[in-house]
Amino acid sequence: MATTSIPTSHHVKNLDLADQGRKRIEWANQSMPVLQSIRKDFIKNQPLKGLRISACLHVTTETANLMITLRDGGADVALCASNPLSTQDDVAASLARDFNIKTYAIKGEDNDTYYSHILAAIDHKPQVTMDDGCDLVTILHTKRKDALEGVIGGTEETTTGVIRLHAMAKEGVLNFPVVAVNDALTKHMFDNRYGTGQSTIDGIVRSTNVLLAGSKFVVAGYGWCGRGLASRARGMGADVIVTEVDPTRALEAVMDGYRVMSMAEAAKIGDIFCTVTGNKSVLRQEHFEAMKNGAIVANSGHFNVEIDIPALARLASSKRAGREFVDEYALRDGRKIYLLGEGRLINLAAAEGHPASVMDMSFANQALAAEYLVKNHANLEKKVYSVPVDLDKRVARLKLEAMGIGIDRLTPEQEEYLASWSEGT
Amino acid sequence: MATTSIPTSHHVKNLDLADQGRKRIEWANQSMPVLQSIRKDFIKNQPLKGLRISACLHVTTETANLMITLRDGGADVALCASNPLSTQDDVAASLARDFNIKTYAIKGEDNDTYYSHILAAIDHKPQVTMDDGCDLVTILHTKRKDALEGVIGGTEETTTGVIRLHAMAKEGVLNFPVVAVNDALTKHMFDNRYGTGQSTIDGIVRSTNVLLAGSKFVVAGYGWCGRGLASRARGMGADVIVTEVDPTRALEAVMDGYRVMSMAEAAKIGDIFCTVTGNKSVLRQEHFEAMKNGAIVANSGHFNVEIDIPALARLASSKRAGREFVDEYALRDGRKIYLLGEGRLINLAAAEGHPASVMDMSFANQALAAEYLVKNHANLEKKVYSVPVDLDKRVARLKLEAMGIGIDRLTPEQEEYLASWSEGT
Amino acid sequence: MATTSIPTSHHVKNLDLADQGRKRIEWANQSMPVLQSIRKDFIKNQPLKGLRISACLHVTTETANLMITLRDGGADVALCASNPLSTQDDVAASLARDFNIKTYAIKGEDNDTYYSHILAAIDHKPQVTMDDGCDLVTILHTKRKDALEGVIGGTEETTTGVIRLHAMAKEGVLNFPVVAVNDALTKHMFDNRYGTGQSTIDGIVRSTNVLLAGSKFVVAGYGWCGRGLASRARGMGADVIVTEVDPTRALEAVMDGYRVMSMAEAAKIGDIFCTVTGNKSVLRQEHFEAMKNGAIVANSGHFNVEIDIPALARLASSKRAGREFVDEYALRDGRKIYLLGEGRLINLAAAEGHPASVMDMSFANQALAAEYLVKNHANLEKKVYSVPVDLDKRVARLKLEAMGIGIDRLTPEQEEYLASWSEGT
Amino acid sequence: MATTSIPTSHHVKNLDLADQGRKRIEWANQSMPVLQSIRKDFIKNQPLKGLRISACLHVTTETANLMITLRDGGADVALCASNPLSTQDDVAASLARDFNIKTYAIKGEDNDTYYSHILAAIDHKPQVTMDDGCDLVTILHTKRKDALEGVIGGTEETTTGVIRLHAMAKEGVLNFPVVAVNDALTKHMFDNRYGTGQSTIDGIVRSTNVLLAGSKFVVAGYGWCGRGLASRARGMGADVIVTEVDPTRALEAVMDGYRVMSMAEAAKIGDIFCTVTGNKSVLRQEHFEAMKNGAIVANSGHFNVEIDIPALARLASSKRAGREFVDEYALRDGRKIYLLGEGRLINLAAAEGHPASVMDMSFANQALAAEYLVKNHANLEKKVYSVPVDLDKRVARLKLEAMGIGIDRLTPEQEEYLASWSEGT
């Protein structure tokens, strides 16, 4: 575990980057009308007055706007990175310098520093935690049980984190209620599907400039992220192949017009592979051995374990950097395999993560979930909670309003009809 | 209520149609490999031995194969229509003549006959009911409470029916457990999305032969049926507009690339309108008044109340039949509006309903749900139950096998990973 | 060659069908605003005054409106079928009874009758011919050279016909100028792509009610028809495979995201096959031998030679009718192959051919091409001519106007810019 | 006109960038199998032995591989940029240092330097010119007629250039034959459609990170570039609107499911605008005045005149840089409009231009066209020539082979059938 000593107020790469960061934070803000609306409300009503929040999130322009919203709601906020590669150093600098957020994050930080930053966020003595992958909560429950006491609740952003939290709750070790922001429709359906879909394509194209039209694009996993990615890859002209372990999802992919097969089969014909499963070793030795020369391999799932990189390294006689974010593995049989972004989420490593207008909804849910915890924590158990439906719909309604889109309302006659059961054929 | 006297063994249009019906039942059977597989199992194990089942379903070739499967599982089966227009008379004839199913259904039957057929099915003294829209269950709970006693449980095929059942359970009037077959993923996701999607397009094209490419196609409702229909309409080249009352669904439609607006706006620009909401009066006077000359109006929701036909009739100076399944309403201001299939589900009225391979999964769920009720009814309460997940996945797995598609299985290492929460970044 | 004796004024199935036919002709007319506009002009200016026209076209509601337009322009019109299966008997009846068109066409007529009808149309002593596949022109140049003298020109509707005409012109045997209506952008791009695309899907679904989503759909040929069909099959959720002989088109299909392979490979995996090549024996013995049990085989190319039906028959131990338009061939090894519509254009055999709004543009070109021949025949050589671009754009402009769509016009500054070459970077 | 004095052997930003450039040139080479194949042939047969070629092209990794191929075919090559913003400085450095190409190009060069670089390329005394937009040929025909004499022919890469050349030929001022490489199917269909489609999306996303799903995306122009862009924008989930001046293209866009309207209408509702017309002032004052606050404006047509930037500047009270490649124009009424890449081709300004695998085909055509000019120039007139069909198909065939895709070949029976005209119904 990390022993690096870091400053208490912030630890960022270079404060001189703050001007650039501030400008980019403002740019993102323009695409986050829902959060803007909540922020106005927070400024007026101060629902988080005096609350200490520690957040472990990707340090991006969108996260910055969430932090500022929380702060404007009265909170005292600390922020560390949820991934060593995803930090935008200029944003971190601006948060520390311009917005009074205790920020601990440096792009490319080593493992020790990564954990020392989480520990710094825990030293903030959070009453509410915000997590993206459950690393903060895990450290709290293992190395830093001392800091558990004051926590009234937490929020979790990702599918991966929610899976871990359910495992913790099942084992009876979870010590406070956590709102699974990921489970909000306005979060996972939009963020995972539309956000991950576009930004993963963006990351792959930026790092390789490969033509997707006519390529064989293998999507491992057909959850919301996989659905979004498959849809966008096809939208760019690729011939998309899906792999799955769940028969219902596999069948859905078939009905959506994709080819479905085992990865053992897909490995032989794919040009580009991208994992979005939430599982580990989805691409492993047996698959690398079957791949075509020139195959491109990437991950857009939360952790960098979806591709078994050590296995790839063992097969290779040499490894060298090619383009930025591309590592060329020369295998002993002469084939080359290209690994993107060191197997970390390619949409954050090589692109900019979800567009601001997607994060707008995720983070609106985060902000409202924090408010919800403050109001309701006394009545909550130590388990995983869904985002209340009303809150979810409120986010959707705010978004539609911001887009200038009007929808229908039920007439009284229709409401009555839906509530009745005796009117028939 | 009906007073028509009908025969006890069957009431069909013409037994001479049975040869044609039998051939078509066999054709459908070829596309129903999952039901075939269950039927083999039923023949061997007789799980429904001696059970009286009354089914109120669309009398189609696919339903015929379900009835035969239930019979082969040992059941004594009665069948009536769940819609006056959807009966295929040749199928009804063959079921009555060739397969020993008590069949009461005639295409185009009037309201009295329709209800007399439901009553005949109730006279069968069912132990298990199968419903498609909840008409059978509603009559049982209102006009024929005498027959309630022997019922151990029921199944329901549609969204509409499930809504009604939940209303009944909420009021405390539901008298036996009902399995919401509609809620199985292998049912609603496939049947509603892919089945309704294709067959609604089919019904509209058959009845009008209109070119969809370049048309403004308005889909009212963005549930599973609406998603499927919108996707297929776009796949045929239409410019698709979606209307909704739920903000989350409306936002999803926007993100899927459709235009979303109120029906008041859509009415002014649409060429073709199709309702799939489960609600009533979705298209009503104010909308007809705004429509373009030549607008085509159809419904693919369960009941024929989604379009307010009386309101349309009131606006019209005359009505005449055009092509088959097309009624031309000449409005007083000179515009013409074309109503398809009298506002009943256009995919059944003008086409053949869901393709057999879709109904294969829905009806596999029905057959397994009946078996489930026999085994578990003693432990079930008087409420609405979901299809057990294992049963749902079994259906998906059988389907994939029938298509020759292999999928991945979790490795032991992966199973362990998914169950753990301490492995992190 | 045919020796059947047929009446001189008309030869249709049953004049009693005329009422139904007339209603359907009027229905189609509503979707043909461009032809309506030309008809108004023709009525006023009589550009075809006294001209004898013989047309060999699919006898459909849309063709009926073209015939009426020509008649209203002053012409004396005879009409025979361009395909023995595509005649709509009620339309033929109405044309003969209500519109004074000499009509010779009966759905399902045998080969002898088919040719006797062409001969009857030639006995009309045409000055202008209208062909759909070049059968009328071929008979004129072989069996009925006597009637060649009075012909001032002809028009041809299809790719197939144009290929034959170019071969004739190359051999020096073509005896009059022919306008290749097919080559108009507003014809082949719309009719072949959007019309054939939708109507072929329609024909396949009507005849089989098979679910396209998740099926492997093989499109043979990637010309305009193939592009349209592939696009629509994908739009319905199929996994589309394309076969081609031309490398440029094959590459285009790859870039459009389809899988491309030889038919030898595709035969092994396809569920549904449809030929649209303009060539013969595209599906032949070697392919039938490789197909899966239950494979469905159809053609939407002009002639019924694209599928080698005799070869299929030789492989089969029995053949029987299944659903309407479906012949089941039971092969000796136990597999069954289903042939749709006897291998004739499935969109006409099992559906209604192109929607009226597509034929509107094709037939607007036909009508204007007839007028063009009358005005310009003196200056034309005995070869194949394209539709003049101005005429083509006039049709497009009329269509857009009918749809209420406004487009931009070049500003004077822009026109000047496009004409200049000296303005640079 | 430029008076800057520049070195004779090369003029690049920094030779120290050459290592990086070389690595990227090699990366691109891997995606250019067709050019690789031609290069092997050139090395062996030296078809360009001693030929002086001056190329005015975007200085990218793909162009580098073309230059190297020409050099390996025996040519003496000079290269300047065809756009001041599109040069990749590391590539220019490597070409100059490692590959003996006379390279004159610096990213962001001012207008004077831009023209001085063209003059330097002319000082090379080219026998063959290669142009991308016709700037080199224009200078040759205006300011440097002295260098015209030795030129045996040229090639032109773009639609824009071909339009200019046709204007020159029409005026009788074109002094040598030019092969319109742009007109090869394997060039414009793939490069313009698939290349521009993907790379324009890439450029817009990189510069803005805006979510395309749910946005109103206006494509001005529905030529090959516009078709590709519209298709990709829709593939990313946008609601696409098309504007056109040509009625046939406009109608095609309608049939493809897009909304078509005048720019005056589109300006009011679009979120993102991209011009791909080859014309000037497509977006102009009247449109800026109508746009929504926050509208994003980009161009992917050849020249930066498609957006009337001076008009935008006149409306603005201030202009400031936002994100990289984004200029914010604050209008006097408070609205902000964002101009991307200074109105130059956004796919080159903010992204990397066409992917290598697309340029592979364009540049294979370029290389083969140069060889063709050497062999055939004696028989060519001073006009614009298409790429011979055989050459075009050769490129397609090489590409399919490189992708491992086999296609069908005509059987002798089929070839005979296609050549005949007497076989009918």
Give the separation between CA C258 and CA C243, rounded to whole angstroms.
10
Q: Give Cα separations from B253 to B226, B268, B287, D263 (angstroms).
A: 10, 20, 21, 25
pLDDT of residue C421: 61
Q: Between B82, B185, B251, which is nearest A396 by CB? A: B251
Q: Are A195 and A327 in contact (CB under 8 A)?
A: no
D390 interfaces chain C, CB cutoff of 8 Å: no
- Whether D321 is in a domain gets the answer yes
Q: In the predicted model, is pLDDT for residue B425 greater than 80?
A: no
Q: Are A381 and A156 in contact (CB under 8 A)?
A: no
In order, the DSSP letters of D7-68 are -SSEE-S-GGGHHHHHHHHHHHHHT-HHHHHHHHHHHHH-TTTT-EEEEEE--SHHHHHHHH
Q: Which two tokens stand for residue B83?
A: 């819609």
Contacts of A237 in chain C (CB under 8 A): 255-257
Q: What is the CATH number of the domain that holds A337?
A: 3.40.50.720
Q: What is the pLDDT of residues D67-77, one digit of tens each?
A: 999 999 999 99
Residues A263 and A378 reside in one and the same domain:
no
Q: Is A324 left (phi over 0), alpha (psi -120 to 50) or beta?
A: beta
Confidence class for position C2, pLDDT limits 50, 70, 90 = very low
For residues B293-313, average pLDDT: 95
Give the separation between CA B254 and CA B246, rounded to whole angstroms.
12
Q: Are C132 and C157 in contact (CB under 8 A)?
A: yes
**Bridge partners of B338?**
B296, B328
Positive or negative torsion for Cα A346, A348, A351, A354: positive
A234 interfaces chain D, CB cutoff of 8 Å: yes
D4 belongs to an annotated ligand binding site: no
Q: Between D260, D279, D406, which is nearest C407 by CB? A: D260
For residues A403-425, average pLDDT: 82
C259 interfaces chain A, CB cutoff of 8 Å: yes
Q: In the predicted model, is pLDDT for residue C423 greater than 70?
A: no
Q: What is the pLDDT of residues A380-399, one digit of tens each?
A: 999 999 999 999 999 999 99
Q: Give Cα separations from C60 to B208, C56, C78, C351 (angstroms).
A: 14, 12, 14, 11
> From the candidates C200, C205, C211, which should be mutated to test the interface with B, based on the most B CB atoms within 10 A?
C211
Confidence class for position D190, pLDDT limits 50, 70, 90 = confident
B10 interfaces chain C, CB cutoff of 8 Å: no
Does the distance separating the beta carbons of A194 and D213 come in below 8 Å? yes
Residues B273 and B145 reside in one and the same domain:
no
Provide the shortest C-alpha distance from residue A198 to chain D (in Å). 7
Q: Which two tokens stand for residue D215?
A: 């946005």
Residues A139 and A244 reside in one and the same domain:
no
Residues B328 and B393 reside in one and the same domain:
no
- Residue D387 amino acid letter: V
D271-284 burial, b for 16+ CB within 10 Å, e for fewer? Answer: bbbbbbbbbbbbbb
Residues B252 and B170 reside in one and the same domain:
no
Residues A180 and A226 reside in one and the same domain:
no
Q: What is the pLDDT of residues C54-93, one digit of tens each?
A: 999 999 999 999 999 999 999 999 999 999 988 999 999 9
Confidence class for position D1, pLDDT limits 50, 70, 90 = very low
pLDDT of residue B166: 93
Report pTM. 0.90
Backbone φ, ψ for residue B94 (5° rounding): -65, -40
Task: Name the residue of chain A whose CA is nearest to D216's CA.
Answer: A403
Burial of B100 per CB tally in 10 Å (0-12, 13-18, 19+): middle
**Bridge partners of C266?**
none
H or E element: which one contains B318?
strand B316-321
For residues B380-405, average pLDDT: 95
What is the residue whose two structure tokens read 């072989």?
A: C142
Provide the shortest C-alpha distance from residue B238 to chain D (in Å). 5
Q: What is the pLDDT of residues D223-250, one digit of tens each?
A: 999 999 999 999 999 999 999 999 999 9
Task: Name the residue of chain A whose CA is nearest to C239's CA.
Answer: A257
Count of beta carbons in the 10 Å neighbourhood of residue B381? 10
Q: What is the CATH number of the domain that holds D155?
A: 3.40.50.1480
Q: Comparing C-alpha atoms, which of C64, C126, C128 is closest to residue C100?
A: C64
B369 alpha-carbon distance from chain centroid: 17
Residues B272 and B370 reside in one and the same domain:
no
C407 interfaces chain A, CB cutoff of 8 Å: no
Backbone φ, ψ for residue A242 (5° rounding): -115, 140
- Give chain D's domain count: 2
Domain end residue (candidates: C326, C349, C372): C349
Q: In the predicted model, is pLDDT for residue D377 greater than 90?
A: yes
Task: Name the residue of chain D whose CA is nearest to A231's CA.
Answer: D235
Does the distance separating the beta carbons of D254 and B234 come in below 8 Å? no
Q: Are C7 and C40 in contact (CB under 8 A)?
A: no
Torsion angle defined by CA atoms of residues B232, B238, B241 and B243, in that order, rounded to the nearest 10 degrees: -40
Q: What is the pLDDT of residues D125-150, one digit of tens each?
A: 999 999 999 999 999 999 999 999 99
Does the distance separating the beta carbons of D279 and C424 come in below 8 Å? no
For residues C396-420, average pLDDT: 92
B378 alpha-carbon distance from chain centroid: 29
Q: What is the pLDDT of residues C274-293, one digit of tens each?
A: 999 989 999 999 999 999 99
User: Angle at the Cα of B323 (from B322 to B324), degrees rounded to 5?
Assistant: 115
C243 belongs to an annotated ligand binding site: no
In order, the DSSP letters of B108-170 are T--HHHHHHHHHHHHHT--SEEEESSSHHHHHHHHTTGGGSTT--EEEE-SHHHHHHHHHHHH
Which strands form B239-243's sheet, in the order they lie side by side?
Answer: B259-260, B239-243, B216-220, B272-275, B295-299, B336-340, B326-331, B316-321
pLDDT of residue B234: 97
Task: Name the residue of chain D whose CA is nearest to C302's CA.
Answer: D425
Can you give the length of chain C in residues? 425
- Whether C416 is in a domain gets the answer no
Provide the shortest C-alpha distance from residue A352 to chain D (in Å). 7
Residues C87 and C132 reside in one and the same domain:
yes
Residues A36 and A122 reside in one and the same domain:
yes
Annotated binding site of B for substrate: 60, 132, 157, 187, 191
What's the mean pLDDT when you consider all of chain C? 94
B133 interfaces chain A, CB cutoff of 8 Å: yes
Q: Tell how strand B316-321 and strand B326-331 pair up.
A: antiparallel
Residues B344 and B359 reside in one and the same domain:
no
Domain span including residue A255:
196-349
H or E element: which one contains C44?
helix C33-45
Task: Name the residue of chain C whose CA is nearest to D242's CA.
Answer: C407
Residues D45 and D165 reside in one and the same domain:
yes
- Whether D413 is in a domain gets the answer no
Count of beta carbons in the 10 Å neighbourhood of residue D412? 7
User: Angle at the Cα of B117 (from B111 to B122), degrees rounded to 5?
Assistant: 130
Contacts of B254 in chain D (CB under 8 A): 214
For residues C368-384, average pLDDT: 96
Q: Half-sphere exposure of B378 toward its Cβ, with a 13 Å CA cutoff?
A: 1
A108 interfaces chain D, CB cutoff of 8 Å: no
- Whether B415 is in a domain gets the answer no
Beta-carbon pairs below 8 A across chains A and D: 97
- Whether A3 is in a domain gets the answer no
Q: Tell how strand A216-220 and strand A178-180 pair up.
A: unpaired
- Whether D229 is in a domain gets the answer yes
Residues C36 and C180 reside in one and the same domain:
yes
Task: Name the residue of chain B whose CA is nearest to A263's CA.
Answer: B408
Q: Between A202, A209, A232, which is nearest D356 by CB? A: A209
Q: Are B357 and B363 in contact (CB under 8 A)?
A: no
Which are the contacts of A358, defined by CB distance < 8 A and separation ≥ 6? A190, A191, A194, A195, D211
Which are the contacts of A314, defined by CB distance < 8 A and separation ≥ 6? A285
pLDDT of residue C90: 97
- Whether C424 is in a domain gets the answer no
Q: Comparing C-alpha atoms, which of B276, B332, B338, B336 is closest to residue B301?
A: B276
Does the distance separating the beta carbons of D392 and C424 come in below 8 Å? no
Q: Between D214, D234, D254, which is nearest B255 by CB? A: D214
Q: Are C12 and C106 in contact (CB under 8 A)?
A: yes
Q: Comparing C-alpha atoms, which of C345, C362, C356 is closest to residue C130?
A: C362
Least confident of C138-147, D315-324, D328-337: D315-324
Does the distance separating the beta carbons of C421 and D168 come in below 8 Å? yes
Backbone φ, ψ for residue C339 (5° rounding): -100, 130
> From the candidates B63, B209, B271, which should be mutated to test the interface with C, based on the most C CB atoms within 10 A?
B209
Which residues between 184 and 213 in chain C have a beta carbon less than 8 angstroms from any beta carbon of chain B?
Answer: 194-195, 197-198, 201-202, 205-206, 209-213
Q: What share of chain A is helix, strand, coil (3-state, %, to 5)?
A: 50, 15, 35
B239 interfaces chain D, CB cutoff of 8 Å: yes
Q: What is the pLDDT of residues C217-232, one digit of tens each?
A: 999 999 999 999 999 9
For residues B104-109, average pLDDT: 96
Provide the shortest C-alpha distance from residue C203 to chain D (in Å). 20
Backbone φ, ψ for residue C317 (5° rounding): -90, -25
D302 belongs to an annotated ligand binding site: yes
Give the separation between CA A37 and CA A47, rounded to whole angstroms.
14
D243 belongs to an annotated ligand binding site: no
- Whether D425 is in a domain gets the answer no
